[in-house]
Structure 1
Amino acid sequence: MNPALLDDPELQVIAARLDSPDIEVRRIAVLALGDLADEAHTPLLVAALRDDAPTVRAAAAQALETMENQAAVEGLAQALDDPDAQVREAAAHSLAELKDPASAAWLLPHACAGAARVRAAALRALRELRVPASAGPALAVLQEPRSAQGTADAVALRREAIGVLGYLKHAPALPALADLAISDPVDEVRRAAVGALAFAAADVGARVALEAALRDASWQVREEAATALGKLQQRAASAALLAALDDPYWQVRLRAARSLGRLRSPGSIAPLLATLGHGISNLRKEAALALGEIGDCAALPALELAAADPDPEVRKSARLAIAQIGAAAHGA
C-alpha cells in the first residue's frame, strides 16, 4: 500500500476495509472509492481488479470509469480477459467512457493482438476517441482470414472494427467494407458494414454494394441500405430505391421513401404519390415529407388531400410539404 494514499483518515478506513475477509465489505469499500472519484486512488482500484471475488472486481472496474490515466486504462484492459463475464462487461463499459484521446496510446496495443473479445472491447473504446491511429488495427481485423468467424467474439470484433472505420470515415477501408456488406455470413456484421458505407459520398463502389444490400435476405440489412443510400447523395441510386418501395417490409419502404426525398429525384414523384395512399400511416408520413423535399408543384393536389388525413402526423407532414413546395416555388 502506498503510504501517500493514506494521509486522509477517511481513506485509511476505506483501505482497511479493502483487506477485510468479508467480500461484501470489500465491495462496499470499492464503491466508496468510486464515489470519491479521485484519480489518486487509482492504484487501490486497480489492485481491487485482482480481488478473489468477481463482485469486487466488477465493482472496481465500474469505479474506474472516471479515471483517465495509464494505470487505470491498462488495468481495465487486462480485466477484459477476466474469467468472469460481469467483470469483463464492466471493464468494457468503463473503457468506452474514456473521453481523452491520449488514452488511445494505452488502448492500441490491446486492439492489435490477443483474444478477440479483448480486441473488440479495445476497439469499441477507440471508436469513441476517433484517433486516426485506430484505423490500422481495425482494418487489419477485416483483412484476417474468415475462419471461425461465426463465434460471438469474432462477430463482435468485426462489428467493432467496422464501427471504428465508419467513425473515422477511413477511405482505404471502403473495399473491405463493401465486401463485408454483401458477403459476410452474419446479418449484424453486414448491417454494420452497410451503415459504415454511408460516409462514402462520391464512391461508386459503395453505392453498388449498397444497392446489392437492398436485395439482402435480412430486412434489417435492407433497411440500413435504404438509409445509407440516401446519405450517399448519389442520384443514380434512385432506381434501386424506387424498387425498394415494393419491399415486403414496410420498414424498408419507409427508409426508401425518406432517401428518395433526400435525393430529390423527379422520377420518384409518381411512386411517392401512390405511397401517400398506403394503409400504414408511417409510410404516408414519409411519402409526404419526401415530396416536400423534392419540391415539385405536381404533388400539391395529393398533398392537399393528405392534409386531411385521419392521422395527425400525416396531416402535419403534408402541411410541411405544402409549405416547403410553396417556398421553393417562390425562390425562398
Structure 2
Amino acid sequence: MEAQIKKDDKASMIDKVFELRGKATIFLCGGMAGCLAKTTVAPLDRVKILLQTHNHAHESHGIFGTLRHIWSVEGIAGFYRSNGAQMIRIFPYSAIQFLSFDVYNNSLSASLGEGNLTRLISGSMAGMTAVSLTYPLDVVRTRLAYQSAGCADYPHSNYSGIADCLRHLRTQRALFAGLAPSLLGMAPYAGVSFCAFHWLQRQAVERWPGLFAVRDDDESPARLCTWARPLIGGLAGAAAQTVSYPLDCARRYMQVAGAPGRFSLAEVPAAGAAATLSQLYSRYGVAAGLYRGLSLNYVRVVPTAGVSFAAYETLRQAFGV
C-alpha cells in the first residue's frame, strides 16, 4: 500500500513537471512570437503613434510624408526609434497574454464549455492581464517613439534613453497614464482577436479542407496549414482593431501628455479616458480624431497579428506543445 502511494506521488510529480514545462514553453513561444511580429512592423508602428498624437513635427504630414521625413532627417534608425523599449515590453507582454489565454481558456471551458464565448472572455482577460503587468514599459515606448527631430519649433530636450524616460515618468507620476482606456480597449481587442482567430481557423479547416487543412497522419486531427496562419491571424487582428481603435487613440494621447515638445491637446491633460475621447471628438471629429491613422493601422495590424499568431502556433508545434 505504501509503495503504491509513493508510486502515485511520483507519477503526480512527473505530471506537474510536464505541466510546468508546457506552460514555460507557451510563455517562451508567446514572447518570441510577439518580438518577431513587432519588429516586422516597427516603422509603421512609429508612424502610427506620430499621426495618432498629432506630433508637431508631423502635424501636416500624412503617412508617406511622415515616412519620407523620418528617412530624410533620422535615417533608417529613425524607423526603429524606441524599438529597444518595445522589445523589452513586448516579450513579457506577449508571453503573459498567450499563457494567460491558455490558462483562462482551460479553466473556463470546464464551466462554460469550449466555444466562442469562452474564447472571447478568455482573450479579454488575458489581454487585460498582460497590459496591467507591463503597462509602464508601454508608456516609455510611446514617449520615446513620440520624440522627433528636424523641426525648428521642436525643442530638443528629449529623453536620453529608457532609464531617463522612466525617471521623468516617475517624477510626473505618469507611469500608468492612459491605463483606463488601455484596459477598456484591450478587453474587446484581445477578446475579439483570439475568438476570431480560432473561429476563422475552424471555419477554414472545416469548409475548405482541401485548401487550408493538413494532417500529420491519417489518425491525427486536421489543422490549419502553415501558409494560412498569417492570413487568418491578420483578419482576426483587423476585426479586433476596428472595434477598439478610438480607445487606442485616447490611450496614446494620455501617454504623451507632458512629454517634451509642443502638443496642443496634451498641454492640459484630460481628466480621464471619457474626457480625452470627448476632446478628440470635439477638436478633430471622428475620422481625424477618433480614427486618425486607422488606415495605416490596418496595414500595420494585419501583419502584426498575422505574424504573431502564425509564429506562436508554429513554435508551439515545433516544441511539441
TM-score (norm 1): 0.21
**Between Structure 1 and Structure 2, whose CA radius of gyration is higher?**
1
